[in-house]
Amino acid sequence: MHMASSYHFSLLLFSLLFLSPCLAQTSFRPKALLLPVQKDPSTLQYITQLNQRTPLVPVHLTLDLGGQFLWVDCDQGYFSSTTYRPSRCGSASCSLPGSTFCTTERYSAARPGSNNNTCGLFPNNPVISTSTGGDLGSDVVSVQSTDGKNPGRVVSVPQLLFVCGPTFLLEGLASGVKGMAGLGRTKVSLPAQFSAAFSFPRKFAVCLSSSTRSNGVIFFGNGPYMLLPNIDASASLIYTPLIVNPVSTAGASFKGDASSDYFIGVKSIKIGGKTVPNINSSLLSIHQGNGGTKISTVNPYTVLETSIYKAVTEFFIKELSGVPRVAAVAPFGLCFNSKNIGPTRVGPAVPSIDLVLQSESVFWSIYGANSMVQVSDEVLCLGFVDGGLNPRTSIVIGGYQIEDNLLQFDLGASRLGFSASLLFRRTTCANFNFTSNA
């Protein structure tokens, strides 16, 4: 009898604590979040979408892996959000990103992007290499959580910091896009703010689809990162250290800011298992902010400094001897008759291009699906472009080269985990199951 009543009592307590929908709503803490990513066929940009403001509005954004923060155009269509809060000069939200400039004279009516006594940052559009000043502020953002297999319940970040940019900064971005989603190495990038909001590990993973018709995905938080049919792309990653470039690579920044781009330490390049000769190794390391290798989702194809480009293309021609070359098709400089190149599971049968990392046994292999671009029925081009002499960064690994590879950025451990081509595992980045189970 006594047992029964205490059982009832604890059942009552249990239902009060856990079954009240209101309590459950506020106490739900996601382990991971996700964003869908679509490849825009005309600009080759990767587009994601966030729901922001009150009332919620879907905002399309170009993905900028190394971008410092989220910025959106506030000049058009951002007047009515009731939850927008400007970041007041001297507040904690201004010191978090290290903003040291403050706008104190504003004569237009207060609105997002134009408030007196508001601190600012420099939103950057790397597609047109343009930066400008913009107000820092915050607003509510809602995102889907995930268990790694499907999208789950929608969760909100009530005060996600972002920067208001002017309309002209949208130039060069895909049609319909209203800003850029920065995932870079800062305290106010989307991954940093999502991890802080929900206390999950400072990790995120990017899986870009090679198809413009089916979405890829970005996961924030730990794996599993499941792709159909039941493949955990977070299993068996290869790791390499992420390298900090101490000098900002953004168009404008505060003095002393490190780069928000993700750099890795490529030591040499192999093609078909043989080291490409005549690569000036000095270009592969970072000197006073110059040189080195970074990963970018804004460059559609990998960009190589001229002498590296020459060394790689000449060696590639040698390793692919017997296949007739055809006239180059811009932006590429090396194209072949595709009738002479057979297919494999990982794309056209060409020698793999290996980026050798911290040791000879750790390398990132780029197979045909990520190295060769079909520009017409009969023409396949090497998907690398000449970056000219003296570019800021010697090697910029572009979007095409990371499609259908999962890249996990572990900011706590400062390392990159990469899966190599998922085609080997008979899946792709378009295989996340977007059917919600919430």
Which residues in this chain contact ligand NAG in the complex, by CB under 6 A? Answer: 104-107, 116-117, 150, 228, 280, 282-283, 433, 435, 437
Q: Minimum Å distance from CB 25 to ligand NAG?
A: 21
| Cβ 281 to ligand NAG shortest distance, Å | 8
Nearer to ligand NAG, 105 or 377 (CB): 105
Q: Name the residue nearer to ligand NAG (CB basis): 45 or 394.
A: 394
Cβ proximity to ligand NAG: between 31 and 415 the closer is 31
Q: How far is the CB of 116 from ligand NAG (least distance, A)?
A: 4
Contact (CB, 8 A) for 424 and 346: yes
251-254, Cβ contacts within 8 angstroms, sequence gap of 24 or more: 251/122, 251/124, 251/125, 251/126, 251/129, 251/130, 251/131, 252/122, 252/124, 252/131, 252/132, 252/133, 253/122, 254/98, 254/99, 254/100
Least distance in Å: CB of 37 to ligand NAG? 19
- The per-residue DSSP string of 276-305 comes to PS---GGGGS-BTTBS-EEE-SSSSSEEE-
Give the burial string for 158-172 (b: 16+ CB within 10 Å, else e).
ebbbbbbbeeebbeb
Using CB atoms within 10 Å of the CB of residue 96, give its burial: 0 to 12 exposed, 13 to 18 middle, 19+ buried. Answer: middle
Q: Quick check: 50 and 59 in contact, CB under 8 A? A: yes
Q: How far is the CB of 12 from ligand NAG (least distance, A)?
A: 33
* Other beta carbons within 10 Å of 89: 18
Query: How, if at all, do strands 57-64 and 179-182 pair?
Result: parallel
What is the rounded CA–CA span in Å between residue 286 and residue 265?
9
Indicate the residue among 54 and 437 with the shorter CB distance to ligand NAG. 437
Name the helix (H) or strand (E) containing 159.
Answer: strand 151-165
Identity of the residue, 40 or 147, whose beta carbon is nearer to ligand NAG in the bound complex: 147
Least distance in Å: CB of 62 to ligand NAG?
28
CA 232 remoteness from chain centre: 20
Residue 17 or residue 228: which is nearer to ligand NAG going by CB? Answer: 228
C-beta separation of 39 from 208 below 8 A:
yes
Give φ, ψ of 17 to 5 degrees. Answer: -75, -40
CB of 79 to ligand NAG, least distance (A): 19
Residue number with CB closer to ligand NAG (116 or 211): 116
Task: State the nearest-atom distance from the C-beta of 19 to ligand NAG, in Å.
Answer: 23
Nearest approach, Cβ of 4 to ligand NAG (angstroms)?
39
Nearer to ligand NAG (CB atom), residue 229 or residue 324: 229
**Could you give the CA distance from residue 114 to residue 71 in angstroms, rounded to a whole number?**
14
Q: In what helix (H) or strand (E) does residue 219 lie, and over which residues does it extend?
A: strand 216-221
Name residue, tokens 């098709």.
329
Residue placing its CB nearer to ligand NAG in the complex, 42 or 435: 435
